Amino acid sequence: MKIANGMEFVNDEAVIGKWENIGWTENTDGTELAGLNKNSGEFNDLHFLPYGSLVQSYMDKKWYDKWTKELIINLHRATAAAYIIKATPHKDRLTSLY
Residue 67 burial class via C-beta count within 10 angstroms: exposed 0-12, middle 13-18, buried 19 and up: buried
- Return the pLDDT at 59: 82
- Return the pLDDT at 10: 94
| Structural domains of the chain, count | 1
- Return the pLDDT at 53: 95
Q: How far apart are CA 34 and CA 28, in angstroms?
A: 10
Q: What share of the chain is helix, strand, coil (3-state, %, to 5)?
A: 5, 50, 45
pTM over 0.95: no
- Return the pLDDT at 39: 60
CA 89 to chain centre: 20
- Name 87's Cβ contacts closer than 8 Å, sequence gap at least 6: 31, 93
Could you report the average pLDDT of every consecutive run of 10 residues in the chain (98 residues)?
82 91 65 59 83 90 93 87 76 60
- Name 30's Cβ contacts closer than 8 Å, sequence gap at least 6: none
Domain that holds residue 88: 4-97
